[in-house]
Amino acid sequence: MKCEWRFSRGQSYLTNGDAVIFRPFAIRHGYRPPEHHPPNQKWVFQEHESPIRTWNKQRNGMGMWKSFNISISFVPEADIVHSSNAFQCSIDPDFKPSLPPDFDYIKNKTGTVLWIVSNCHSRSGREGYVKEMKKHIAVDVYGKCGKGIICRGYSAYRGHNCTGAFIGRYKFYLAFENSLCNHYYTEKLTKTIGVDTIPVVMGLVNYSSILTPGTFIDVRDFSSVKALTDHLNYLDQNDTAFNEIIKRKRSVNCVKSYTRPYFCMLCHYLHVNKNRTQITADPRVWWSTGRQCQNKNAFFKGIR
């Protein structure tokens, strides 16, 4: 099966394409698309940002969303489920340690807690949580909201060896999401794979279904910020306990959940459903913040 794939900034795609992909997060101020597509054309809703970051007054007011045929996103409600950040970890039954049992993973650490962040005013409330953490444990903050960008910025941030080496200097890494939405996690989590650092996670995600239990720390497992930092301080001072977690983390094998780009999956879907009449639900409903996300007050209730 083959599809011709083109990015377009003009208007010709609205009449010539068999399918047109719209990503609402990328729609800029002033853009006015038609409300309906030609009879033989299919419109595709595609989004990998969270609903909180997707919608604004302009995008919400567009009538076009009622005319979509196919949806692509990371939530189960989508026709095509895909995320470039999705992965799955499990214990490798064939794992053989490459280091001696008494190897000390702490000896190369130069810091305790690291947070790399460039969105300084997120809706998740993570900034306030970290501010409270700093009262009880040392947290080094890098990125635009801290001591500066590392490893030449965002392109390197997504998996370059430089970033992994930088994170590896710390015992703990804060993988705190900017939005508290179902199934939403980003490269903040993926770049801790293969690094001898323990991720501390915050998000509206079942992390145990992604990571292997015993290899990460979830803020929701603690009754307060102080309770979390007490646990981190314990691991910081207990080399044996810290090393055991890293040993378990090293015995895990992580693989990408989706090996093909979403547009390849779409190509297959279009061929299989070529003669199917299909209308998807209005994404302003099923992809709304009310349906998919949780406000920070509800999320932090009982854990802060």
Q: What is the DSSP string of 3-57?
A: ------SSSTHHHH-SEEEE-GGGPPTT----SS--TT-EEEEE--S-HHHH--H
Per-residue model confidence (pLDDT) at position 3: 82
pLDDT at 256 exceeding the cut of 90: yes
279, pLDDT greater than 50: yes
Which residues are within 8 A (CB) of 171 and not within 5 positions of it... i.e. 6 or more apart? 106, 109, 111, 112, 113, 197, 198, 235, 236, 242
Domain 87-256 CATH superfamily: Glycosyl transferase family 10, C-terminal domain (3.40.50.11660)
Q: What is the reported pTM?
A: 0.92
- What are the structural domain ranges in the chain? 19-82+259-294, 87-256
| pLDDT tens column, 135-165 | 999 999 999 999 888 887 654 445 457 888 8
Kindly report, residue by residue over 75-105, the tens digit of the pLDDT. 999 999 999 999 999 999 989 888 888 899 9
Give the separation between CA 234 and CA 195, rounded to whole angstroms. 21
Average pLDDT of 205-234?
97
* Ranges 114-128, 140-154, 190-204: which has the least confidence: 140-154
